[in-house]
Structure 1
Amino acid sequence: MTTMNQPEAFDLTVLNAGERARFWREPRHDALECLSATFRTHVYTPHTHETYVVGVIVAGCEGVNIAGYRGAARPGDVCFVNPGTLHDGCPVDGGYAYRTAYPETDFIAGIAEDLLGRRPRSLPHFRTPIIRDPALAATFAEAHRRLETGHGSLESDELFHRFFAMSLVRHADLEPAAHALDHHPGLARVRDYIDAHLGENIDLTTLAHIAGLSRHHLLRAFRKTYGLTPHAFLLDRRIHTARRLLLKGFAPSDVAAACGFCDQSHLNRVFKGRMGITPGVFAAAA
């Protein structure tokens, strides 16, 4: 496995002038995915993750829309995105540099178990997307920097654990109550159909028939419920599947075909729009 303790295996993605992104997986923390990047023009497409997303801005300003919350993140802020939450990001006033990590749900549940003394009954939920907490932000940035530079140690392990434990205590509901979605039952059937036919050429008429709605009503209701049009939702799900296939060692060209993309170039564009890096860089860090 590629780690930040092996500088010769680093993969550096150069984007536009003045932009860079470095992605790796940290075996000291259950293969935690980490990204250190500077973006001046790159704009993230609205997307979701199956993991949590936690990050801090170390310079500049990033404009964000997280589940309808529009704001700006600056140094001293900590950003939290819960699994499955629609979000995007864009540079403000010349861009930003940031550090972020993508903890798996089991990773966060494990921290919650340490705090509760038992396994949580439901996944912890961060209450607010952007928190002003300079001390907490500094703790994350320092632990993240140590991992990137190959200085992972017991001290950095303690910093990371302290950060996530303090984040859950201060800013999350450890066992949030489940909330039922209030939406047309046909929308769930459409969502499930898309998940089962990711590699196929799905058409709107078929989806409307499955939902029992007109095409116009389906488009409006689906976006209101899930925050994305059916096509954007399909692309988002395809990227989730592409990530899993890349981690299993499949070549990007084969992943593109399996996930229903026109070609590898199409996969590259959609993947980088949501991840900030190309599929090749993502796979090389495995």
Structure 2
Amino acid sequence: METSKIWRNETFSGVELLSASYTTFEFSKHWHDELAIGIIEEGAEGLFYRGSNLVIPKHHIVAINPAEVHTGFSGGSDGWRYRMFYFNLEELAHQFANHGMPINPIVERPMIYDEALFDELLRLHISLEQSAFELSKESFYILALEKLFTRYGSAREDKVYSVCTKSSYLARDFIRDNFDSNPSLSELEIVSGCSKFQLIRSFKAVFGITPHQYLLLIKVKQAKALLAQGSSCVDASLACGFYDQSHFTRNFKKAFGISPSNYRAR
């Protein structure tokens, strides 16, 4: 069955998202004004790009720069399932300049095999489709795109970043004291006096985890304590600021290996 869904997430202006599965469908020749970055989840996509036919297999990344004419078609008998990002160049460059990392958002190769980057892009795309905290979405966005451009684009990993220890502790304390109100990376930037990009790097260097991972751990630990005291799963999730039960259950089980309902019934 062929399906497609296109949407925008309010967290990031200038980013359009596509999730699709095609078997016999073929794109005609076209181009995008945006930078198009895709991840092939199943099957393989065929691509006519820069005068050659390419086959982008499962777990590979496809990158098409703005104004490059191309097509898209099935690279095998089973078609392909994939997710795409379409990034507005001006907004992308502006966002990363504000994070202390000026870039020229161009990617040098159309097909990339990088398991870690694939996983980060997939995690980002899913977070912009399903329930996720603003801090998580912002962190996934910065981490995935920083890795994309420093490894395969016009930004290089030749800049030495100092560790902002004091800023990291200020951010940690703010998250701990305000975990139920779901602080954003923008709030942490103000509280810590450190740019978003620098803060993520520093926080992980100091504490071994990123700010969004720390937020989730604080939330599920507090929820666990509430469940142990007799709170219902619904009350515990609401008290800890989770968006819905599935979001709560998913993150609780990742941390403790058991669902909240099973933990409460132990």
| TM band (smaller chain) | 0.5 to 0.7
* Counterpart residue identity of residue 164, structure 1: L
Moved over 3 A (4+): 114-118
| Residue of structure 1 in register with 2:87 after alignment | 103
Structure 2 stretches of 5 or more lacking a match? 157-266
Shift of 1:116: 6.1
Shift of 1:113: 2.3
User: Larger relative CO (CA 8 A, sep 6+): 1 or 2?
Assistant: 1
The answer to whether the 8 A contact 1:112-1:168 is kept is no
Decide which moves more: 62-71 or 134-143: 62-71
The 3-state SS of whatever aligns with 1:169 is: helix
Match of 2:137 among 152, 156, 164: 156
The 3-state SS of whatever aligns with 2:128 is: helix
* Counterpart residue identity of residue 61, structure 1: A
Shift of 1:154: 1.3
Match of 1:47 among 30, 47, 53: 30
Shift of 1:111: 4.9
Asked if 1:30 corresponds to 2:27, the answer is no
Structure 1 stretches of 5 or more lacking a match? 1-17, 176-286
The answer to whether the 8 A contact 2:14-2:88 is kept is no
The answer to whether the 8 A contact 2:14-2:91 is kept is no
* Counterpart residue identity of residue 149, structure 1: Q
Kindly provide the CA deviation profile for residues 223-258 of structure 1, in whole angstroms up to 9, marking residues without a partner as x: xxxxxxxxxxxxxxxxxxxxxxxxxxxxxxxxxxxx
Match of 2:150 among 164, 169, 174: 169
Shift of 1:134: 1.3
Match of 2:112 among 131, 146, 153: 131
Kindly provide the CA deviation profile for residues 36-85 of structure 1, in whole angstroms up to 9, marking residues without a partner as x: 00011110111101111011001111111222242111222111111101
TM-score normalised according to structure 1 size: 0.50
TM-score normalised according to structure 2 size: 0.54
User: CA separation of 1:114/1:70 partners in 2, compared to 1, >3 Å: closer, same or farther?
Assistant: farther
| Residue of structure 2 in register with 1:21 after alignment | 4
Task: Return the index of the structure with the highest Cα Rg.
Answer: 2
Q: How does 1:198-217 map to 2 (within 5 A)?
A: none
How far apart, CA to CA, are the structure 2 residues paired with 1:143 and 1:154? 12
User: CA separation of 1:127/1:66 partners in 2, compared to 1, >3 Å: closer, same or farther?
Assistant: same
